[in-house]
Structure 1
Amino acid sequence: MTQTSETPAPPPPAFTTLLNFRDVGGVRTADGGRVRTGRLYRSASPQFLDAAEAHRLVHDLGIRTRVDLRGRTEAWEAPPPATVAAGIETAHLPLYAGRRMVDAAPTSSAAIAAHYLSYLEHAGDSLARMVRTLGDRPGLPALVHCAAGKDRTGAAVALVLAALGVDRDDVVADYARTSEHLGAIHAQLSGVPAYQQRLAAMPEEAFSAFPETMEVFLDRLAAEYGGARGYLRDRGVTAEELHRLAEALVE
């Protein structure tokens, strides 16, 4: 059967060494558009990629830009394979929340959502630059990631999707899909000395991706900033830059 323009492209085959990987395209926007498939991906850290899957990322999927939301020390201690580093442009845009999640001791969806709101407060420049990076069509497809692809990536991708006008339920559903991968992510990161102590100190609730967490985040984003576009405008993103983001990611 011939694929029509209304039929989303099939999802890329799953990676085994790049966890929590997915294409965020295919969802509808409020104005009747659809987020393009094959343009924006999200994942956990690519540091564990084996040679074959690194080749797939660079050559088969054609990733051109890697948006790394990890802190500078994290990124330095855990770089991706050389083939990825050489084949993909890196935009290092660290998201900081003012204090670590382990210090914040989140015990509920509301507390974890508040931690995500701290990214907006403390890392506005990185988030604004991320939007400008994703609006640069020659730099696409892009991969956005942190360590687990849950918190920093979850908040950042939700901000982008909300700014594009994606239905709230779809933004929440994309975030919640990470729950399918949390066991494997925890096992993978637990083998890295730099993460062992941090993971051991985190409360159990931190290893979750409940829909309620994203619901609270979006509610507070709307109440405190007037939504994603209002937040980004407050951080210096212009109407033209938001238009370029939509042109790059929405059909």
Structure 2
Amino acid sequence: MEQVRAIKCTKRWKALLTVIFIIISMVILSPKKVSAATGSINTTASVANIQKYGNVVLDIKSADLLSSGYEFGDILNVSFGEHNLKLPLCSDFSDVDTGAAGIFTKQEYALLAINMKDFATTYGIAVKNTAADNSVSWQAADGVTDQIRVSISLDTKGGYYDEYLLHQLRYTANREDYPNLSDDQFANFREVTTTGIGKGVLYRSASPINPIFNRNTYADAAIRQAKVTTIMNLADDPETVASFPNVDATYYSKQNYITLNMGVDVEAEDFGEKLAEGIRFFLSKPGVYLVHCTEGKDRAGFTIAVLECLMGASYDEVAADYMTTFYNYYGITADDERYHVILANNLEKSLKHVLGVNRLRDTDLSERAAEYLKTSGLTDEEISRLKQCLAGTAAVPEATEGTVQETEVTYGTYRVKNGDTLSRIAREKYGDSKKWTDIFALNKDRISNPNRIYIGQELKLAIT
């Protein structure tokens, strides 16, 4: 009898342990993205500021918003004024498609923003004023009070989670993290070689002067090697350029360049107007051209695509060049399922909009690009001249002051000694420490980082 009781007791304990194990397994293995909300989450905030590109800064810290119980990939109800929006909670603007809105935590304070567009203007919060020097200021829209209250609550737990994962493309500023890339690729620098564009005429890159992503020195060395003379800077204004460290020591600073301070919304009317201004600058300074923004990815990617279309490139050519940037930054290749998602939600979407077409592969892209540039303010004569310049058939004047003249150069070698830097070597050999960029450009096959040279290393030097 006691043995029977013991057996029954053992069975009960086994059953109980089995139930406990199943419950624990369900808790541990249940994915966060489908977990039910533990209760209603409600948050209130106010508009604190509006940034240059129309992003609306809230007075709630990003960390506090996330600690309230919301998670990346949740869809939130966001209400202010007469607007009731359903927005995904994301980290960075790139976590949503071009033209899509979201609530973002990439900065200290949470932002309401639209990827590549202007949230403040779109939702009637404020009006943007652009001064003659392209500086931007904001004022409250008609009927809007200074204090705008924003209500935030949970709509769908994990409702955007799959899309959020797809957008998780990240890159670093460390050259060492890209051992398979050349210095030019790391700088997102390349010649534009699509149909109709002349050899050695047009280049694109990340910023050769902005150090934020550590690609500037590589880009500056690359444009020097390519003998770039005329530069369209889509990202900055003159004051910002002047603020970059050691900008006066760059090859870039000695060339002809224009600063356009463009917004990131390539479909905006003022984007086209500023592009026309940049093109007129190109026409006034024929030579070897460079187009860049900060990363050489979005604004530069779209601008180059328009020029490629104008010159007769097929959409497949344009797309391949555009996606080279995503290989340089993220390692995305054509056999990656994200490749076509990126194209569809960025370049393809923007080109269809500005060119006014539904299909890109069976459309005269050259004609549509010309119409877009005319709408942006260029004349037929200016467009004709632009095509001649990009084809390399326009007459190019002699180099002006500040550009590089072609001279006969011989070369020698220098062995690095203790305490040397490229600047110190440049000062010793050329009498000007700023010429370290010349040494770096000559030795790109030997130096991967201009801040790292080694005792005994042999460098190539120009002998004047």
TM bucket, shorter chain: 0.5 to 0.7
Preserved contact between residue 68 and residue 146 of structure 1 (Cα < 8 Å) = yes
C-alpha deviation, 1:42, in angstroms:
0.5
In structure 2, C-alpha distance between the alignment counterparts of 1:61 and 1:82, rounded to whole Å:
18
Matched, 1:89 2:256: yes
Whole-Å separation in 2 of the counterparts to 1:165 and 1:54: 29
Q: Residue in 2 aligned with 1:151?
A: 298
Q: 1:56 to 1:117 in 2, by over 3 A?
A: closer
Contact persistence 2:286–2:389 (CA under 8 A)? no
What amino acid is the match of 2:353? R
Q: Which amino acid aligns with 1:36?
A: G
Cα deviation, residue 163, structure 1: 2.1
Cα distance, 1:122–1:56 mapped onto 2, change above 3 Å: closer
Amino acid at match of 1:57: I
Which residue in 1 is equivalent to 2:206? 44
Structure 1 residue 128 and structure 2 residue 293: aligned?
no
- 2:391 is matched with 250
Aligned CA RMSD, in angstroms, stands at 2.9
Alpha-carbon distance in 1 for matches of 2:219, 2:297: 21
Q: Quick check: 2:231–2:290 contact (8 Å CA) kept in 1?
A: yes
Partner of 1:203: none
Deviations 1:146-172 (A, max 9, x none): 111111111111122222232121111
1:209 CA displacement: 8.7
The match for 2:188 among 16, 20, 34 is 20
Match of 2:234 among 69, 85, 88: 69
Instruction: Give the distance between the partners of 2:200 and 2:341, measured in 1 at CA.
Output: 24
Shift of 1:134: 3.1
| Distance 1:75-1:227 versus aligned 2 partners, 3 A rule | farther
Change (3 A) 1:162 1:145: same
CA distance in 2, matches of 1:123, 1:134: 17
Q: 1:49 to 1:21 in 2, by over 3 A?
A: same
Shift in Å, 1:55:
5.2
Check the 8 A contact 1:173/1:211 in 2, yes or no.
Answer: no
Correspondence list, 1:101-112, <5 A:
none
Q: Are the equivalent residues in 2 in contact too, given 1:135–1:246 (CA < 8 A)?
A: no
User: Deviations 1:123-145 (Å, cap 9, x if unpaired)?
Assistant: 23210022223334x53211111
Aligned counterpart, 2:147: none
Note if contact 1:150-1:209 (Cα within 8 Å) is conserved in structure 2. Answer: no
Work out whether residues 206 and 216 of structure 2, in 8 Å CA contact, stay in contact via their aligned partners in 1.
no
* Higher fraction of strand: 2
Deviations, residues 63-92 of structure 1 (Å, cap 9, x unaligned): 101211113265344364623244211111
- How far apart in 1 are the matches of 2:223 and 2:183? 9
Deviations 1:153-206 (A, max 9, x none): 11111122222232121111111111012249xxxxxxxxxxxxxxxxxxxxxx
1:202-248 Cα shifts (integer Å, max 9, x gaps): xxxxxx99222212222112227x83211211222011111111111
User: Deviation of residue 46 (structure 1)?
Assistant: 0.8
Higher RCO (CA-CA < 8 Å; seq separation 6+): 1
Cα distance, 1:64–1:38 mapped onto 2, change above 3 Å: same
1:18 touches 1:46 (CA, 8 Å); kept in 2?
A: no
Deviations 1:97-138 (A, max 9, x none): 4xxxxxxxxxxxxxxxxx4313xx2223210022223334x5
Amino acid at match of 2:266: Y
1:233 to 348, 370, 374: 374
TM-score norm. by structure 1 comes to 0.64
- Give the distance between the partners of 1:168 and 1:57, measured in 2 at CA: 27
Letter paired with 1:162: C
| Superposition deviation, residue 14 in structure 1 | 4.5
Alignment of structure 1 residues 184-199 onto 2, 5 Å? none
Percent pairwise identity = 28
Q: Judging changes above 3 Å, is the alpha-carbon distance between structure 1 residues 57 and 223 closer, same or farther for their aligned structure 2 residues?
A: closer
Normalization by structure 2: what TM-score? 0.36
User: Distance in 1 between the 2:219 and 2:354 partners?
Assistant: 36
1:139 maps to a residue whose letter is P
Q: Structure 2 matches for 1:205-224, cutoff 5 A?
A: 210-212=342-344, 213-223=346-356
Secondary structure, aligned partner of 1:237: coil
Specify the structure having the higher radius of gyration (Cα).
Answer: 2
Q: CA–CA distance in 2 between the matches of 1:76 and 1:86?
A: 10
Question: Which of 312, 319, 328 in structure 2 is aligned with 1:165?
Answer: 312
The structure that is helix-richer by fraction is 1
CA contact (8 A) 1:67 1:144 kept: yes
Q: 1:162 to 1:16 in 2, by over 3 A?
A: closer
8 A Cα contact 1:70 1:95, kept in partner = yes
Letter in 2 for 1:63: V
Q: Aligned equivalents of 1:88 and 1:209: distance in 2?
A: 38
**For 2:378, what is the secondary structure of its paired residue?**
coil
